[in-house]
Amino acid sequence: MAVLKIVTYPDPRLQQKSRPVEKWDKELYGLIEDMEHTLDAAPGLGLAAVQVGVSLQVFLYDENAGGGKSTKSYTAMINPEIAFQEGEIKEEEGCLSIPDYRDTVVRAAVVRVRGFNKEGEPVEVSGEGLLARVFQHEIDHVNGVLFIDRLSSLKRGLFLRRMKKLQRQTKAELSGKV
């Protein structure tokens, strides 16, 4: 049981497609448990394995996302795919792997996701509104897509310039302290 370090942008692992899970074993269960503790310690509604440095198609989501409940209840989704989507909703989104940045992203309003639970049983779950957004965001992660990849080219360019400026500032601060 550990709180894992969250991988942050521009780490290249975040933009690589994760491998499907082939074995349900102690290692997988341990990863899921560690991800639960990590998500408990973070201000997020979902967490993909790649965000903690593990390239497997696994994500956790808070079943209560958007439901008005203050308690968190996590469910693991393994080898997920979107089976159905409809509608469109445009809302602000953020990411634990891109701290301190939020922007408006267009997503489907309703989705149905197919995959496996942590026991290896096939599952299909539907979500709308915020929960649909969480599903799409986390499935993007397992496919190597970040929410900034869904921004307009103008907004993405502004984000990238901001990141380069922050990297230069950090580098200058570090070189000044050495």
Catalytic residues: 138
* 131/53 Cα distance (integer angstroms): 24
- Distance CA(89)–CA(106), nearest Å, equals 6
Quote the distance between the C-alpha of residue 16 and its chain's center: 13
**Contact status, residue 58 vs residue 110, Cβ threshold 8 Å:** no
Structure tokens at 24: 């349900």
- 80 with 114: CB under 8 angstroms? yes
